[in-house]
Structure 1
Amino acid sequence: MTPQLLAGKRGVIFGALDEQSIAWSIAEVCAAMGAKFTLTNAPVALRFGQLNTLAERLGATIIPADATSIGDMEKLFQQSEEILGGKIDFVLHAIGMSLNVRKKNEYTNLNHDWMLKTFDISAVSFHKMCQVLYKGDHMAEWGSILGLTYIAAQRTFPDYSEMAESKALLESFARSFGYHFAEKNKVRVNTISQSPTMTTAGQGVKGFDKFFGYADTMSPLGNAPALDCANYCATLFSDLTRYVTMQNLFHDGGFSSMGMNPKLIQE
């Protein structure tokens, strides 16, 4: 029987696209643990994804919203409060997109207009989201805001391109807003740095399959699956982690602490 760790909690989950999405697994786990939430994604993503299937199965309402639009964010959280019947206990930001990565532009030859768009979608949207939550007083006391990130924010992974800078900016926004939310109403703000995961977006990175295998071998526990990431997120949405804030938390099977794994040499 699944523990009802999130019974009575209200949330908003960004970024579920299809069954390969980490946000999809997080939504399933949160529902199983007793949470009620709304689901949101950009209108263009809704046209190409499978979010309706997830919403119908979990009994969740979909609210289309462009995370780069302050107006859309305001409507999203106002409507979510009305639908869920109260202030929001948890929010998941699982958004990232780079046209440069999709078009396989080398880091030394990026389209800078696309780079700015990458930053806006993948990182500045987190600040806009937090700002709307903060100014609108939408978060319940001791609530939890969480963003998904990657270790490329701290280390160089050439094919990850300017998404690395996006994740570094995202993590900085989480730390900075973490202070302000703690002062306002004890809301925690954290990021989770997840293992490479076979998502639709992840597989768009050049050489992802080979790197996935490398990370799996380097990590003493192997790559962390999406479902385990979802369970970890649930603990951070729960009351068991009330004093964890302004942290970047690695959920990567130990990859972030390794220098070299002898298994790589043996292979």
Structure 2
Amino acid sequence: MSRVRKTGLIGWGAIGRVVGSAVAAGEVPGAELVGIVDNRRLGDAVPAPQLTMEQALESCDLIVEAAGQGVVREWGRAILTSGTDLLVASTGALTDDELAKGLLTTGPGRVYFTGGAVGGLDLLQAVRAMGPLSEVRLTTTKLPSTLEQPWMDERLLAAMRSAKEPVEVMRGTAREVPVRFPKSTNVAASVALAVGDLDAVRVSVVADPAAVHTSHVIEASGPHGSYRFEVRHLPDAANPATSQVVPYAVLRSLAALAGRSGQIL
């Protein structure tokens, strides 16, 4: 009989609430929600005790990150060094080469990543095994209000706020873009992880006032073929910067780690 994964959750936001509630309700066989780490006072409405990070590391063998790139940078290596496994939702943190190398080489805990709001990554990994892709492009389109950032100048902000049609707000690599949009472009890092090269993935971020759905279009080509994936998600009502599907992608990854049988990997 497989052991139960004693699971801690970092973050009680749009992603964490769905993930934590599902685990607490027994919807992920093999996983038990032991506690929740959050820097806010959550009160009695949460389905598990609120813990400090130190308490979580003492009582959990798996931590699920659902609180943003900063948490991965601050706590990632400490979690792994303690012997606790880490499931990362905020893959954009891995655009930092030093951090990524540290997470992948630190133990005895193991680090895992979820693809979040994008599909086709398994196929890109398979193609990559045959040889490098010659071109990979990602176009992410979201509502302008979800893309506003402190570094933007007044001219760009005014263009986004008054736009009547799509406006490109940044173009760069998968290394550059998630740093500028830490809550909105983890998909870029997920694609780059699949391709194996942050600098090979060219990313365009588009603000569209008519974007009822968040859209991610991946286009890749190489000696062995060409590939195009498009996903269109409804934004989360509580946090439009993320898609409704993201917590369910995290739950799927957690279910795989907890040992649920009979699913496509």
TM range (shorter): 0.3 to 0.5
Higher share in helix? 1
Larger Rg: 2
Q: TM-score, normalised by structure 1?
A: 0.45
Higher share in strand? 2
